[in-house]
Structure 1
Amino acid sequence: MTADAPMTPLVGLTATLRAEFAVWRRSAVARLPLGGVAFGLADSAMFLATGSGKTWKDVLGYQNLWAMFVGPMLTVLLAVTAARIDRGARGGGTWYRPVPPAYRHLSRFTALGVRSLLLNVLGAGTPLLLLGLLSSAQRVPADRAAEAVLVPWISQLGLLALTLWLARRLHAGAALAAGFVWTVLGVVEAESAAWAVLPFTWLDRGALPVLGTHANGVALETHSALAGASPWPPALLGALLAIPFLLLPRLSLSGTRTAKHRTSVERPAFSPGATAILNTVTEPAPRPAPAQPRLLGAALGMLRGTALTWLCPGAVALVALWLSWHDPETSIQLFTLLILPIGTLVLGLTVWSVAAQGWRAVASRATGTTGPALALTAVTVAIAVAVSLITALLYLTAGIPAGHAWPLALTSATVGAMLTTLTLWLAIRTSQAVAAVVGIIGILFGVLVGGTSMQQTLWPLIPYSWANYLDLHRMSLTLPVSLAALALFTYGITHATRKAAEHS
């Protein structure tokens, strides 16, 4: 007679919390809050560039962009990044440990909530500190400064829980899109009379009286009821929104396997990128002398079936639809400041997300990493250039003079290629989260500078707005610098891919 094996004791909440904080140390999740510093420095520079004679109320008003959009979107990106890493690593073995699901979910939310707080401290606190040190008139009172940091963070906790829940069950892109829609709805309806029953407004409503602005950044009128409203009811409602997403039933991680699933034999799966490139170097050659692998064809095959097959035509179709409603001369900025920068960001992130899964296997073949990396870069740049040239042709057929069409084609193709390689290099060298943060911040400041009178003085500093400058004077600087940066980033990509293979 044999005794039953003793049951493994469940892991407690304290140990789960401690393990969760240790999991993300030195990861992309830990580095992502540094994006707040980048935004804070850029925001401070923009504030100083608009002139002197401002007060601390103006400093608070400049936090509107952070509280309304950048902060919430970086919080969404934080949750999506954590979910992607966890899914890619299959939970690092923790899915099979005797941890109560409620402890696991609460610990994950707590760890990310602390990093969201750090994100807001760095993003909102950096300009408050720097601008206050430069001028006593710009020194925000301590209580208002604390509210400018804490109110947005507390309001974002519900969005964090929602995004984390969605990212566990859906594709990362779908969760990111849902977070974007939630954020935009919050901005649009923040001042609605029905805000108390519209959960997405809780994200932004509390920050408005603290910053003294409307949701669009315009200063509140003195007699406005919102100016004297308390920020805490909507902020606390935003935090309480997290509770249902932490308590929802069946909140298990996607891909979690039980014992009965683990008994089946699984065949190893390779990503489309790995399969396409490996097929070019592993199949026996029909002739005695082995043929050179067709790396460009393999790179193209890798991207077949990805979201790029509809995103690229969709971007061109969006421009065509816009041109059917608007004058082409006055609508070029839609492409140069929004569609092109956003497209290059999505292109670079998508390409590496596909290629990264099998890059170690690619590096183990006779081709090494340099050839495949150059082929991958060439195909990615070719896509950006092709979309730029087709779009310029659309503007030409819509009626803009040829003298405007060729600068648009040349500038958008060159700047688009440079921005694409920048994103690809950042995604490989650091992480996709860091590349996304840099891209989002760059696009925002590109719109602010390129779409306003600030371009008169700040245009050389924001490469994300360079495609908008079609005069020969500025093109004489942006085009050579973009080409030099393109070569530099391509060189960096070849080295970064080798390191990525070594550490994968």
Structure 2
Amino acid sequence: MSTVVQPQPWRTVQGKTEVRVGLWNLVRAEITRSRRTFTWGVIGATLVFTAHTIILANASISSGVVKELQWNGNALAWMHLYAGAFAVPLGLLTGAMAQWREQRWRQGGTAWRAVDPRRVVTARIVVLSLSALACQVALVAPVVGHALIVGSGWGPWNRYLLFATYMWIVVTGACAWGMAAFRVARAVAVGVAPVLGFMWSAVGVGQAERSDWWMLPWAWTARVPLPLLGVHGNSVLLEKGSPVWGYPLLPGFLLTTGLTLIGVGLAVLSGAPGGAGSSTSSVSRLSRLLPGGRAADEDQSETVSVQSSEHAPGSWPRSIPNRRATPATRMARVPGPRSAVLAMAGVLPWIVWVVLATLLLAFLGVLHTAYPPGYGQSFLELVGMPVAAAITGITVWGRLQPAWRTLITRRGACGILVSATVLSAVFLVPVLVVSWIVTVLGDTLTRTDPSLPAVTGAVYGLMVMPAVAFMIAAVSLAVALCTRIVVAIVLNIILVVTGLLIGGNEVMTATGLWRIAPWAWMSVAHQFPGRWLTIVVLSLLIGSTAMGVAVLGARRAAIRE
């Protein structure tokens, strides 16, 4: 007589005795799983930032923009950009990406064993803290090495070592808060958390010198770096006798450490989120839309099999009608060949774009009401347009990525990418034009002086806007396709901040430094109308090159894990 092994009930599985795995073993497993991921890739992003900082420091001195010199070409002052704009967003992004990775990888198997998820999260935080420490080494070591090479010596080693230690605490806390944010918002946190972190940092540096700073948590992380780097909150060098030199460091260290511990506690208590949903539906939906694709349900009734949790394990599943057909699914049922443009129109994230466009227009409207038109124009040129174009390019690839391996077998990569780019431009350009109109309402756009151009600089900004937006979207799409989405996010953060630094400073824009701030070229054309044609040509050239690189890297992206 054969023995039938019955499936073990769920409650019995949940009631198993926990497997006691040492924390060090969990840390080793986490290090193994995090190889070739953004947990360690963020070190490369920090190295890129450091190299960019050294280049900007030397370029600003050689061009005569900066005349007051300190150790190693004011390198410490330039490092304030890391504390005031990069550290918190990158930390939040790293933590959210780590949780997203483990959700997609089912926690490396620990979610299927009786291992306490809080211990797994603790091990993950340890690894993220090691990554944060390595980032500080990548931030400080190249600057010190460059100083030794050029003969500037070791410099104020006690200040930059304290700064590195402090930023280690800040970035570790940001990683923990990013993990906790993912628990609340899931994959949305990957995009939202860095933006909120940037806003947190920007507000913090603006209020770091207030007397009531201790009541403002966002000012805690921004106050300590000021005397260590010798700068004000706006990154201007401190003058001799400034009260900022005498700011005590211990209160800021303690408050920031407390904020970090709160984030760690929330991340540990929240445990590990559940498994990720399958992207099979997105793959099949996209592939059916392209020429040669065939809907799998054309010859079948539209039903979905589900098994109720109350049924016994051996009971038959029941079928229920699937009445919620998406627009893309309905489009797939139309017989005959399908163009790539029509296929992409059904899957691009229109709703997300509409929501973000509404928020942009609403913010510009409030800004235009409360401040003169110049403020809204500067925001649109330096932040609004670059961020909107970057989000467009990244989200396009985010929609195509799950089905990319199937898509390029049914249609050439060039046709798919060009179709998606055209449709994105059809949406993005009108939104940016309307945004520009909102910012210039009530402003004078023409001149009567014959010695000046007939129109103001804002009009020249509008003239270059489509080309610059195409360049930013194409570069973001190409970088996300050829590497990873997170790399495109980091690159855009770096270039947006660089654009704010150079494009927002008319003295620096007047020099040749404007060429290394392409994300601010709309503002450059506004300030110096004579450069508008050069900017259009360069933008179209860079954007076209990026699209070509994306097409060439299409097959490699399909086989990349």
- Report the TM-score, using the length of structure 2 for normalisation: 0.78
The answer to whether the Cα contact below 8 Å between 2:498 and 2:517 also exists between their aligned partners in 1 is: yes
Amino acid at match of 1:169: V
Deviations 1:251-289 (CA, angstroms, capped at 9, x unpaired) = 2222259xxxxxxxx9x6546576245344324799xxx
2:460 aligned with 1:441: no
Q: Identify the residue that residue 430 of structure 1 maps to in structure 2.
A: 483
In the alignment, which residue of structure 1 is the partner of 2:355?
Answer: 310
1:200-279 pair list within 5 angstroms = 200-220=218-238, 222-224=240-242, 226-248=244-266, 250-255=269-274, 270=280, 275-276=285-286, 278-279=288-289
Counterparts of 2:417 and 2:131, CA distance in 1: 34
The answer (yes or no) to whether the contact 1:28–1:81 under 8 Å persists in 2 is yes
Give CA deviations for 1:42-65 in whole Å, capped at 9, x if unaligned.
222222233266122943222222
Q: Residues 423-464 of structure 1: CA distance to partner in whole angstroms, max 9, x if unpaired?
A: 111111111221111111111111111121111111122211
Which one of the candidate residues 88, 101, 106 is aligned to 1:90?
106
Query: Hey, what's the Cα distance between the residues in 1 that align with 2:280 and 2:390?
Result: 25
Which aligned pairs between 1:297-376 and structure 2 lie closer than 5 A?
A: 297-304=342-349, 306-328=351-373, 331-364=376-409, 366-376=410-420
Instruction: Give distance in 2, aligned partners of 1:111 and 1:256.
Output: 21
CA contact (8 A) 1:169 1:254 kept: no
1:154 counterpart = 2:189? no
**Structure 2 CA distance for aligned equivalents of residues 175 and 77 of structure 1:** 7
Which stretch shows the higher mean deviation, 304-313 or 339-348? 304-313
Matched letter for residue 112 of structure 1: L
Q: 1:222 to 1:330 in 2, by over 3 A?
A: closer
Question: Equivalents in 1 of 2:489, 2:142: separation in Å?
Answer: 20
Q: Any conservation in 1 of the 2:394–2:473 contact (CA below 8 Å)? A: no
Preserved CA contact (<8 Å) 1:21 1:111: yes
Contact 1:32-1:78 at 8 Å conserved across structures: yes
Q: 1:68 matched to which residue of 2?
A: 84
| Alignment partners' CA distance in 1, 2:120 and 2:238 | 43
**Residue in 1 aligned with 2:523?**
468
Residue 416 of structure 1 aligns with which residue? 469
Determine what percentage of the aligned residue pairs are the same residue.
Answer: 24
**Structure 2 Cα separation of the partners of residues 480 and 200 of structure 1:** 41
Deviates most, 412-421 or 487-496: 487-496
Shift of 1:222: 4.6
CA distance in 1 between partners of 2:114 and 2:130 (Å): 25
Question: Which AA in structure 2 matches 1:446?
Answer: G
The residue type equivalent to 2:184 in the other structure is R
Q: Specify the alignment match of 2:309 in structure 1.
A: none
After TM superposition, the score normalised by the length of structure 1 is: 0.86
Partners of 1:109 and 1:13 in 2: CA distance: 12
User: Structure 1 residue 16: deviation in Å?
Assistant: 0.4
Q: Which amino acid aligns with 1:309?
A: V
Residue 469 of structure 1 aligns to a residue whose secondary structure is: helix
- Which shows bigger deviation, 303-312 or 18-27? 303-312
Q: Partners in 2 of 1:43 and 1:384 — Cα distance?
A: 32
Which amino acid in the other structure matches residue 220 of structure 2?
W
CA contact (8 A) 1:329 1:400 kept: no
Q: Per the alignment, do residues 271 and 375 of structure 1 end up closer, same or farther by CA in structure 2, a change over 3 Å counting?
A: farther
Q: Retained in 1: the 8 A contact 2:183–2:273? A: yes
- Please, which of 509, 512, 536 is the counterpart of residue 479 of structure 1? 536
Which of 169, 182, 186 is the equivalent residue of 1:167? 182
Query: In the aligned structure 2, how far is the partner of 1:53 from the partner of 1:396?
Result: 37
Asked if residue 106 in structure 1 is aligned to residue 150 in structure 2, the reply is no
Instruction: Tell me, in whole angstroms, the C-alpha distance in 2 between the residues paired with 1:165 and 1:244.
Output: 10
Determine if the alignment matches structure 1 residue 493 to structure 2 residue 535: no
Q: Which residue of 1 aligns with 2:142?
A: 126
For these two proteins, the number of residue pairs brought into alignment is 490
CA distance in structure 1 between the partners assigned to 2:349 and 2:394 by the alignment: 15
Alpha-carbon deviations, 1:273-307, whole Å to 9, x = none? 76245344324799xxx733232222222124542
Distance in 2 between residues matched to 1:198 and 1:320, nearest whole Å: 28
Q: How much has 1:92 moved relative to structure 2?
A: 3.9
Matched residue, 2:94: 78
Q: Distance in 2 between matches of 1:361 and 1:184?
A: 42
Given residue 377 of structure 2, which amino acid in structure 1 is its aligned partner? Answer: I
C-alpha spacing 1:214/1:122, structure 2 compared with 1 (3 Å): same
Looking at structure 1, the residues matched to 198 and 510 of structure 2 have their Cα atoms a distance apart, in angstroms, of: 31
Q: CA deviation at 1:191?
A: 3.4
1:321 to 1:154, Cα distance in 2 relative to 1, 3 A: closer
Shift of 1:89: 3.1
3-state SS of 1:32 partner: helix
SS in 1 for 2:90: helix
8 Å CA contact retained: 1:155, 1:236: no
Identify if the C-alpha distance between structure 1 residues 297 and 63 changes in structure 2 by more than 3 Å, giving closer, same or farther: same
Q: CA deviation at 1:367?
A: 2.2
In 2 relative to 1, CA 193–389 (structure 1 residues): closer, same or farther, beyond 3 Å? closer
Query: CA–CA distance in 2 between the matches of 1:358 and 1:432?
Result: 15
Q: Distance in 2 between matches of 1:399 and 1:145?
A: 46
Give the whole-Å Cα distance in 2 for the aligned partners of 1:20 and 1:329.
50
Q: Whole-Å Cα distance in 2 between the matches of residues 384 and 305 of structure 1?
A: 11
Alpha-carbon spacing, 1:277–1:314, altered in 2? closer, same or farther (3 Å): farther
Query: Residues 348 and 90 (structure 1 numbering): CA distance in 2 closer, same or farther, change over 3 Å?
Result: farther
CA distance in 2, matches of 1:134, 1:485: 34
CA contact (8 A) 1:155 1:237 kept: no
Find the aligned partners of 2:357 and 2:413 in 1 and give their Cα distance.
Answer: 27
Letter in 2 for 1:110: V
1:50 maps to 60
CA contact (8 A) 2:90 2:194 kept: no
Distance 1:202 1:321, change over 3 A: closer
Aligned mates of 1:273, 1:347 — CA distance in 2? 20
| 1:17 aligned onto 2:33 | no
- What does the per-residue CA deviation read over 1:318-338, in whole Å, with 9 as the maximum and x for residues that have no partner? 334433444446753222111
8 Å contact from structure 2 (residues 19, 115) kept in 1: no
Indicate conservation of the 8 Å contact 2:509/2:524, yes or no: no
